[in-house]
Amino acid sequence: EAQVTQNPRYLITVTGKKLTVTCSQNMNHEYMSWYRQDPGLGLRQIYYSMNVEVTDKGDVPEGYKVSRKEKRNFPLILESPSPNQTSLYFCASSLSNYVPAEAFFGQGTRLTVV
């Protein structure tokens, strides 16, 4: 089954404790992206990757890091999480490197930073 898998689904952590949210896709997609969703603000793009070893900033990259060492994986790293990073996070992938022509989204990771 074609899918994007995020882990964990839910995470509560403390300020300053490094964490990684994993994202994996099994569709051999070149393009992958991370978004955060906050009430009333829709989906805002954090980082995206057009291919292996190619990553770039979206609209809200501050406080986040990503890596793309393999095509299937695109982890999101919070080196020193802060409460304003409490949010619902989505990973997405699509076949084309020209943005989400048909993007598949993961089920989301709800992060709470206390």
Partner 1 sequence: GQQLNQSPQSMFIQEGEDVSMNCTSSSIFNTWLWYKQDPGEGPVLLIALYKAGELTSNGRLTAQFGITRKDSFLNISASIPSDVGIYFCAGPDENTNAGKSTFGDGTTLTVKP
The nearest distance, CB 16 to partner 1, in angstroms, is 28
CA distance 45 to 89: 10
The SS3 call for residue 83 is: helix
Stretch that binds partner 1, among 21-29, 50-58, 62-70, 76-84 (CB under 8 A): 50-58
Quote the tokens at residue 52.
């292996």
Q: Rule CB under 8 A: is residue 111 a binding residue for partner 1?
A: no
Number of residues that bind partner 1 (CB under 8 A): 28
Q: How far is CA 60 from CA 5, 56, 67, 112, in A?
A: 22, 11, 16, 18
Match 């089920």 to its residue by tokens.
Answer: 107
Give the residue with the Cβ less far from partner 1, 40 or 69.
Answer: 40
Give the residue with the Cβ less far from partner 1, 55 or 85.
Answer: 55
Which residues touch 69 (CB under 8 Å, ≥6 apart)? 52, 53
User: Among 27, 50, 52, 95, which residue sits at the site for partner 1 (rule: CB under 8 A)?
Assistant: 50
CA distance 54 to 62: 18
In the region spanning residues 60 to 89, those forming contacts with partner 1, defined by CB under 8 A, are none
Binding site for partner 1 (CB under 8 A): 4, 31, 33, 35, 40-45, 48, 50, 56, 58-59, 90, 92, 97-103, 105-108
